[in-house]
Each structure stands twice: as C-alpha cells, then as structure tokens.
C-alpha cells in the first residue's frame, strides 16, 4: 500500500495560535489530503493555505466550519447571520446570497471546502450544539433554504457539506463532550430528521457523519463509524455517491477509541477529520492494511471520491482569489439589509418605546460595563430613548436581553438557574417587559414577558434593527421557525 494513499484520507486540524505550522507543512509533504482550519486572521489563513498547497504534490483541500461566513472564525472577514435567522425570513434569496458571500470570502482566504450547511432540525430546546445553527424545525424549510445555500456556495467556487448525518437535532448532549444517543427507528427518522438530507443529497458535494449513537440502526457504533448508517443507509438506501467526511475525530464522543479512524473508513467514510494525532492515525491505517482488515480497493475508492471534489474546484483554481471580497461594502451591506427580514416576534404584546421615554435595560448577571447589547442600547439612544440599567420597584418598563448561543464543548446553551431567577424576578417587577433573544430563541421557554422579539444572533446590525422594531421604525419580516413555550405573565 502506497503510504501517501493513506495520508490522502487524513485531514488534520490546524488551530491558529496553537498548532505548529512546521508540523503542518511536514504533513502536507507526506501527502495529507487537506486540513481543517480554525481561527486566524485573514492574512494568516491566506498565507498558510498558500504554503501548504505549495508543499503538497496532491490537490490538497482546505476545509473550515464557516457556517456563518468566514468572519465567524477569521479576523478581517464578514460574519453573516446564522441559519435560524435566515429560516425566520423564509427567503431563499437570502440563503443563496449567504452561500455566495461565504464562498467568495473562503476563496479569498484559500479555503476550498465549507463544512456547511447544517441540515439538522432544531426540535429540542435543550440541544446545546445545534440550535441557531439550524434553519428551524420544519424539514421542508430546511431543505428549501439548504438547497439555495448550496447553490450559492457552488456558484462561487466552494464545496458544500451537509451535516450532521443522519441528524443531530433530537439530542440533549454535545458530541464534543460525550456520545449523544438518538432512540428512533428508521421509520421515525424518515418522517423528520432524514427529510432535509434526502432532499439535499443530490446537490451536496459531501456529507459529514455525526458522532451519534442510533441503537435502532446500530447498537455498537456511532453513525460516523457505522457501516449500517454510512454504507447501508446513506450510500445504498439514499443513493449518495459523493464524499463522506467524519466529524472531528478529536471530539470526546469518539476520541477514546484508538481505532475510530479505521472503523470510519471501513464503514464508508472517505475523509478523516481532525484526528488528535495524525501520525498515530496513519499508523493505525497502515496496520489495518497490513492485517488485511482494510483493502487497497477501499482506500482507492475513498481517494477517488476526494479527487472528484478537487475536480469540481478546477474551474475556479485558475482564477485569481477575490481578495477584495473580504469585508467589502457589499457583503457588510447584505447583513444590514437582511436584518429586518430575519427578526421575528415570538410574542408581540404591543410593546413599543418612543422618544423621550426612559427604558430599563437588563442583561442578567451582567454589569453595565460588560453589556453585550451596546449596539442595541446606542440605537435606542439615537432614536431618542433614554436607556438606564433596570431598577426594580420604580415603575420602569423593562427590556431584557439574552445572548445564549451554541458553543462547542460548553455542554449547555440555555439560562443558568441564577440567570433564570434574575430574569423572572425582573419581569415580575416591571409594569411591562420585552425579552430580546440575541441568540437562541429557546431562552424564552417558560418565561412570561409582555413581549418577546427574536433576532437569533448578536450582530450589531441585528441589534440596531431590534431597536428600530421597538421604536416602530422597522417592521420585522420574520416568522418563528421553531416553537417556544412561553407562559402568560402573572
């Protein structure tokens, strides 16, 4: 077995500021199929991509989790609204444009493979890792917007990746920390979680297998390592013939298994993402080949599918990178222009503010100097509304803001008991109140504000749009893409 053939299947992670560039160059020279980038400045990402591709004699692919645009992770690029904000708008043109901008800025950075879109459904408020990364709870909405997004990516020269097959939405565990379990049979999955994947497989360049245990399909291996799920369900039953990539192998859901990479390839995966030790993984693959556990034909088939991805990029690789795309006026303007369409009332309650009014503002357990809602507060001030820290018992109307969002490895997303108590007491003591969800809409579950407005993210333009909504200057065009269970104010 040619050792470079095995290296082709390994995609080490590279974390700017932590990983060793010299080691990455050695891995590229060994024949690594590509890398997954995390973080960095625009200049750092662009230069390392150039160096790694120069060091490789194979068509090396650079991947990154730019779900919300390159600016989600890269300093100097444009951060875009999350999928749930686009889901609230229901607009395919916004989804497509998000894909186009993401692809343009990824290419400007030398990144080829955008590990998006998330096709999971947001069906559980306690899911700590999907949430606003999803388009919403409706499979049809997720499919329509996912297709538009994929179309936008491909039109500007970036590869797409559906994730996390066969659906990470109906879990309450973070696979960065533990192995989640989905106790549904195939029929139940086909009614909900699988529907966006089934609809999008014909358009997607690749699929990411989730680290999820589905006992009804395979009682011993998570989906990412399961032949029943990858070869049986994804390839044979659903007919997907493109490239399959694992979720990061350094996640605790699978990292305890030293043979996880071998199992993934035997199950039907083609690319092994972000192993803890790439050299150790290569040694395991070599041993499997020597023992006859893994055949050369399986390795060649996986490499051929990765070659197919590289060929899709060929028309764009000869073009100069669009370096002037990074945080250009047009891309920044997209965010501000999209914001009103994405905001949605979860409960309108006729909460309005006007010039000359004093409004109490609260971020639970957060001092004024640490407020995250500065753009919201400033926008209200520009509209003539005086904003002061909320003081209970003095007749102040209340605007409370929450900034809960998915964070890999945090294991939680919703409010702590302490934050909940502070919010509940503030709402109870105010003559009227509005809760602003600048992130997860599920923070509203069980709370009784007079009104609730969801922005789904904390981008400055979305904060300013939310201020405009309260002042009656902006009309929110979105509808809730998920269900929240608020209770009436006592």
Name the residues annotated as catalytic: 176, 247
The two structure tokens encoding residue 387: 């904003």
Angle at 395 between CA 392 and CA 401, to 5 degrees: 55
Q: Quote the CA–CA distance of 400 and 57 in Å, as a whole number.
A: 55
Of residues 285, 266, 177, the one with CA closest to residue 218 = 266
Residue 184, classed as helix, strand or coil, is coil
Judge contact between 70 and 105, C-beta under 8 A.
yes
What is the rounded distance in angstroms from the CA atom of residue 63 to the CA atom of residue 248?
12
What's the rounded Cα separation, in Å, for the pair 113 and 205? 9
What the block records as the tokens of 177 is 């920390």
Q: What is the DSSP letter of 245?
A: E
Dihedral sign from CA coordinates of 281, 287, 292, 295: positive
Q: How many residues does the chain have?
A: 490
User: How far apart are the C-alpha atoms of 94 and 99, rounded to whole Å?
Assistant: 9
For residues 436 and 427, give the distance between their C-alpha atoms in angstroms, rounded to a whole number: 13
Structure tokens at 300: 């060649």
Which string of DSSP letters, residue by residue, matches 200-234? Answer: HTTT-SEEEEP--B-TTT-SSSBGGG-HIIIIIII
Beta bridge partners of 243: 206
Query: What's the DSSP call for residue 248?
Result: P
Task: Identify how many contiguous H helices and E strands the chain contains and give both numbers.
Answer: 16, 15
Q: What residues pair up with 359 in beta bridges, in sequence order?
A: 387, 397
Nearest to 453 by CA among 471, 438, 464: 438
Provide the b/e sequence for 437-451 (b: ≥16 CB within 10 Å).
bbbbbbbbbebbbbb
């Amino acid at each position: 077995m040619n050792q470079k053939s095995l290296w082709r299947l390994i995609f080490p992670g590279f974390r700017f500021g932590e990983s060793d560039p010299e080691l990455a160059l050695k891995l590229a020279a060994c024949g690594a199929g590509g890398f997954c980038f995390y973080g960095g400045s625009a200049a750092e990402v662009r230069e390392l991509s150039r160096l790694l591709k120069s060091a490789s004699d194979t068509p090396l692919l650079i991947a990154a989790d730019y779900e919300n645009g390159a600016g989600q992770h890269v300093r100097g690029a444009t951060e875009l609204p999350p999928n749930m904000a686009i889901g609230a708008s229901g607009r395919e043109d916004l989804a497509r444009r998000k894909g186009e901008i993401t692809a343009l800025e990824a290419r400007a950075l030398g990144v080829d493979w955008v590990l998006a879109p998330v096709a999971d459904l947001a069906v559980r408020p306690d899911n700590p890792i999907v949430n606003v990364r999803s388009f919403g709870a409706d499979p049809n909405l997720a499919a329509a917007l996912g297709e538009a997004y994929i179309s936008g990516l491909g039109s500007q020269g970036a590869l797409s990746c559906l994730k996390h097959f066969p659906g990470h939405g109906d879990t309450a565990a973070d696979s960065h920390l533990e192995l989640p379990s989905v106790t549904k049979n195939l029929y139940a999955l086909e009614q909900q979680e699988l529907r966006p994947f089934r609809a999008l497989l014909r358009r997607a360049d690749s699929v990411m297998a989730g680290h999820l245990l589905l006992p009804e399909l395979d009682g011993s291996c998570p989906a990412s390592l399961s032949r029943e799920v990858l070869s049986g369900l994804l390839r044979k039953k659903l007919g997907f013939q493109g490239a399959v990539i694992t979720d990061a192998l350094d996640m605790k859901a699978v990292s305890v298994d030293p043979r996880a990479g071998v199992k993934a390839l035997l199950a039907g995966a083609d690319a092994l993402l972000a192993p803890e030790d790439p050299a150790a993984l290569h040694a395991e693959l070599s041993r499997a080949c020597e023992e006859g556990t893994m055949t050369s034909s399986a390795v060649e088939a996986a490499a051929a599918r990765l070659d197919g991805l590289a060929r899709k990029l060929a028309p764009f690789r000869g073009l100069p990178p669009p370096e002037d795309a990074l945080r250009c006026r047009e891309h920044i303007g997209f965010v501000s222009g999209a914001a009103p369409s994405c905001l949605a009332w979860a409960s309108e309650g006729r909460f309005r503010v006007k010039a000359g009014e004093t409004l109490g503002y609260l971020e639970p357990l957060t001092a004024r100097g640490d407020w995250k809602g500065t753009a919201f507060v400033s926008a209200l001030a520009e509209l003539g509304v005086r904003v002061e820290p909320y003081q209970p018992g003095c007749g102040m109307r209340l605007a409370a803001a929450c900034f809960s969002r998915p964070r890999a490895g945090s294991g939680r997303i919703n409010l702590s008991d302490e934050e909940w108590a502070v919010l509940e007491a503030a709402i109870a003591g105010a003559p009227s109140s509005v809760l602003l969800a600048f992130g997860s809409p599920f923070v509203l579950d069980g709370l009784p504000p007079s009104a609730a407005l969801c922005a789904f993210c904390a981008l400055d333009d979305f904060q300013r749009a939310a201020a405009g909504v309260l002042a009656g200057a902006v009309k929110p065009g979105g509808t809730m893409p998920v269900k929240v269970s608020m209770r009436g104010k006592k």
